[in-house]
Amino acid sequence: MGKFKGKTDKREFILCDDEQEYALVLNVLGDCRFLVKLLHSGQEIIGHVRGNMRSKNRSSWVRKDDIVIVSKRDFQADKVEIVHKYLPDEVRKLVKMGHIDLDTEKEESFWNTSESDDDLDVDCI
């Protein structure tokens, strides 16, 4: 009997609340900072990875073209906190549910990508 018996790979499906917004990662800036585009307003803004996401496993590392949830900062209006990263299957579910609307070109490139060990990893130590 291993200590991981009964553990599943499923994770909770999270939707954004009233104080949060969905965003698309446009560019990796380094030092846990990313240029993100808010999907509802179209505004481009700098997003910073929240501290509790920094040391998690590989699935929480943020990359270009990822869909994330951001939360506005009370103390800095020109920056947001990245609080959650969606996996490709979860993005498809968001699109089907009508929570996000990706343009056709971006959507097509997103569906055809697969995560590999060759992807850029951002280490936020």
pLDDT, one tens digit per residue, over 7-26 is: 446 788 888 888 899 999 99
Q: Which residues of 82-95 are buried (b: 16+ CB within 10 A; e: fewer)?
A: bbbbbeeeebeebb
Stretch 67-90: mean pLDDT: 90
Q: Which fold has domain 20-111?
A: OB fold (Dihydrolipoamide Acetyltransferase, E2P) (2.40.50)
Residue 55 — pLDDT band, cuts 50, 70, 90? low
Average pLDDT for residues 51-76, to the nearest whole number? Answer: 77
Q: Flag whether pLDDT at 59 surpasses 50.
A: no
CA-nearest of 101, 89, 114 to 38 is: 101
Spacing of C-alpha 18 from chain mean position: 17
- What is residue 50's predicted lDDT score, i.e. its pLDDT? 78
Contact partners, residue 55, CB within 8 Å, separation at least 6: none
Mean pLDDT score across all residues of the chain: 77
pLDDT score for 120: 45
Residues 6 or more apart in contact with residue 99 via CB below 8 angstroms: 15, 16, 22
Q: Give the start-to-end residue ranges of the domains of the chain.
A: 20-111
Its pTM stands at 0.71
Residue 96 structure tokens: 């089907």
